[in-house]
Structure 1
Amino acid sequence: MQIYLPIAEVSVSLILLLGLGTLVGILSGMFGVGGGFLITPLLFFMGIPPAVAVATGANQIVASSVSGVMAHLKRRTVDLKMGTVLLVGGLFGSAIGVYIFNFLKTQGQVDLLVKICYVVFLGIIGGLMFYESVKSMMKSRAGKRGKRHVHVWVHGLPFKMRFRASGLYISAIPPLLVGAAVGILAAIMGVGGGFIMVPAMIYLLGMPTKVVIGTSLFQIIFVTAFTTLLHAVSTQTVDIVLALALILGGVVGAQIGSVIGAKLKAEQLRILLASLVLAVCFKLALDLFLTPDELYILAEFGS
């Protein structure tokens, strides 16, 4: 069944969109990521213009993240205080990101920038995640237990706060900066930023893994909602028909993912996610270098 997307100006399969939303929702519940790092490139592959994919993908991230957070709140695995500090940084970052996005859109360079950002960030994050997961599995088989957290220079910064749910007493500056970086990425790349935030919360902030996923999803909800609002007002690239189809699948998928994630080993989940990230990165990189099927786009003069 084909449906027409008025803002994207293309027709796509409704079943495919629902399946895509469900898949990303499952990933959201399993890993604590919004899923934008996957859903936005997959929308590219379906022929959705990058500007529309970035702005609309954030809608689905909000829905799947809300669904995932509800499951984690029941288990009391959300640090609301840490999530609020991350959120403050994220709102500032998303405003900056939308400004950058608008500027590049007027210059006609936004599509290329989005794809290059995806290739760079997915390649780096996927590679590091895969390496760390393999190393953790080898240590586990050898019977060694690595340190959960090592103090680095960021923990000597001022403005310290106590985060009881995470068992931390650290400066508020690193969470604010992490939140701001994720906010910028959310606006430019259409991602929740969980694929960067989750490793940062574990290795930089030293948060225990059990509260990282729920806290990440909590912050993602508000940053992506704010980003979507800014895009809808300033760029008019949010396709409501596309968003609704993705949301329907995402809400169901997030509940399934939270159940699956609770039953599987963390190292196995990270390797699976890293492999998926690297596969998407490779496909996007290939598309940047291959000659497109249609070299020219015909349009009426003055349009």
Structure 2
Amino acid sequence: MKFMRNLHQFMMAGARAQARWELEISNTILRSRRRLAIIGLLLLPIIFGGIAFADNVGGALPAFIGGKSAYGPSHYTNLIFGASILVGLCAGLITGCIGAGGGFIIAPALMSVGVKGILAVGTDLFHIFAKAIMGSVLHRKMGNIAVALAATFLIGAISGSTLGGYINRALYEKNPVLSDMFITVIYVLMLGFLAFYALSDWYRTLRRKNAAADVAESSGPQAEEIPPIGKMVQSINLPPMLTFDQGVTPGGRKISAFFLVIAGFIVGLAAAIMGVGGGFLTFPIFVYGLGVSSMTTVGTDIFQIVFTAGYGSITQYAVYGFIFYTLAMGMLLGSLIGIQIGSIVTKVVSGTTICAFYAVTVSAGFFNRACALPEKMMKMGYIDVSPQLLKLLNIVGTFGFFIIIIIFAVWVFWSFFTNLKVLRAEEVHESWETQNN
């Protein structure tokens, strides 16, 4: 039980790190007129060119790119583009408000409306790459990157991403239903694990008088203090050894390149299979597993996301036709707005309420994929279930999922607009303090 609890803390630390990265990227893009102009230029051909393309083919999905049953990446309808903005908006609201977990609902949401699993993964990965490259803050973080550490990590990340992309494509070529089932099983296991511990954390928070104690307990060890696993890994002298964190510890710390390659391989594999960028794994693996300082980890994480997501999305999915660019741009636009509103709302709601909504939204994602799994297993011949029951499960899973997400979005917007005076007063106060310090 202690191992599972530690694993939950490990995954939550990564999810929070991913949320911080998302917020920083969003701030960088929205505060730059040049970057906003680039987004506008990218959206124009997608909207107007996509309309013309859809009209010419009569709205049919072409199969000329990527082999068997692949979708034409430029296909467009108003409904698809609007839905992608909504999905990105809701994911951004969850990420900004809760501080973790928003990206985990994107692939399940896309699959729920009929997008093939491999297309949902490729599109999500490309959307992360587009966001990373447009909002890159590498110029501000380069001083915190251990170049040798990052380069060695990327050797493993690229290898893992190549394998992950190959697995997804091979399963799809064998049977598209098998591919969907595989991706669904991965999400059921991950979201089920997170949902169980999120609900248990929420229950414990309600029973405690001081909820802050529970938050502190779940935050894990401090990054500057090397955890036991990190000490053990750094104690193994397996050449070549790399030196890092010279600015944190006199003389720096040393670690075998072998462990960095393994860590990169795990991150790259997860990113390519699930389409989540890998950032949610990099932070906890570096800090807890390898004993790297938080300062070096943040810089290296930003560095690896650009290259891992870029390599995975382009070489493993884009060239095979498994990216829906209309969806990707819509999600990018929606998430930039959602994460800003969500992060502001955290100033006027309680931590217990945020904890509750995290538990509910993650549970909704798990429930959605769990309800979709029996149909895919039946199509593969693994189980025998009545069509009526399958139809009921699909309806309940899909509508239940979107109802919960929409309720969450409405609650966030309601909290935002009903507290505008408070938020404005706080913004003026913070601005005044900044000018006088």
Aligned to 2:226: 149
- CA separation in 1, counterparts of 2:76 and 2:348? 40
Q: How far did 1:226 drift?
A: 1.0
Q: How far did 1:247 drift?
A: 2.5
Q: Which range is displaced more, 160-169 or 236-245?
A: 160-169
Aligned to 1:298: none
Aligned to 2:104: 37
**Which structure 2 segments of 5+ residues have no match?**
1-46, 62-70, 206-210, 376-388, 394-437
- CA separation in 2, counterparts of 1:175 and 1:111? 31
Is the 8 Å Cα contact of residues 62 and 220 (structure 1) preserved in structure 2?
Answer: yes
- CA separation in 2, counterparts of 1:171 and 1:127? 35
Q: How far did 1:67 drift?
A: 5.4
Which of 290, 293, 296 is the aligned partner of 2:391?
293
One-letter code aligned to 2:187 = Y
SS in 2 for 1:161: strand
Aligned to 1:238: 323
Is the 8 Å Cα contact of residues 95 and 103 (structure 2) preserved in structure 1?
Answer: no
- CA separation in 2, counterparts of 1:56 and 1:166? 38
Q: Is structure 2 residue 217 aligned with structure 1 residue 138?
A: no
Is the 8 Å Cα contact of residues 126 and 314 (structure 2) preserved in structure 1?
Answer: no
Q: Is structure 2 residue 105 aligned with structure 1 residue 63?
A: no
Q: How far did 1:56 drift?
A: 1.1
Q: How far did 1:19 drift?
A: 3.2
Q: How far did 1:195 drift?
A: 2.6
Number of residue-to-residue matches in the alignment: 293
- CA separation in 2, counterparts of 1:192 and 1:34? 13
- CA separation in 2, counterparts of 1:36 and 1:266? 20
- Higher-Rg member (1/2): 2
Aligned to 1:101: 168
Percent identity (aligned): 26
Give the 5 Å matches for 1:268-283. Answer: 276-283=361-368
SS in 2 for 1:91: helix
Distance 1:162 1:35, change over 3 A: farther
- CA separation in 2, counterparts of 1:214 and 1:264? 31
Aligned to 1:249: 334
Is the 8 Å Cα contact of residues 161 and 265 (structure 2) preserved in structure 1?
Answer: yes
Is the 8 Å Cα contact of residues 97 and 188 (structure 1) preserved in structure 2?
Answer: yes
Which of 188, 191, 195 is the aligned partner of 1:119?
188
Give the 5 Å matches for 1:186-225. Answer: 186-209=271-294, 212-225=297-310
Q: TM-score, normalised by structure 1?
A: 0.73
Distance 1:294 1:93, change over 3 A: same
Is the 8 Å Cα contact of residues 160 and 265 (structure 2) preserved in structure 1?
Answer: yes
- CA separation in 2, counterparts of 1:207 and 1:125? 25
- CA separation in 2, counterparts of 1:184 and 1:236? 20
- CA separation in 2, counterparts of 1:196 and 1:95? 17
Distance 1:242 1:275, change over 3 A: same
Structure of higher RCO (CA pairs closer than 8 Å, 6+ residues apart)? 1
One-letter code aligned to 1:149 = I
Q: How far did 1:236 drift?
A: 1.6
Aligned to 2:423: none
SS in 2 for 1:293: helix
- CA separation in 2, counterparts of 1:193 and 1:47? 25
Q: How far did 1:112 drift?
A: 0.5
Is the 8 Å Cα contact of residues 77 and 210 (structure 1) preserved in structure 2?
Answer: no
- CA separation in 1, counterparts of 2:349 and 2:150? 25
Distance 1:68 1:92, change over 3 A: same
Q: How far did 1:257 drift?
A: 7.3
RMSD of Structure 2 on Structure 1 (CA): 4.5
Q: Which range is displaced more, 250-259 or 167-176?
A: 250-259
Is the 8 Å Cα contact of residues 166 and 316 (structure 2) preserved in structure 1?
Answer: no
Q: Which range is displaced more, 256-265 or 29-38?
A: 256-265
- CA separation in 1, counterparts of 2:348 and 2:234? 33
Is the 8 Å Cα contact of residues 32 and 212 (structure 1) preserved in structure 2?
Answer: no
One-letter code aligned to 2:274 = M
Distance 1:170 1:129, change over 3 A: farther
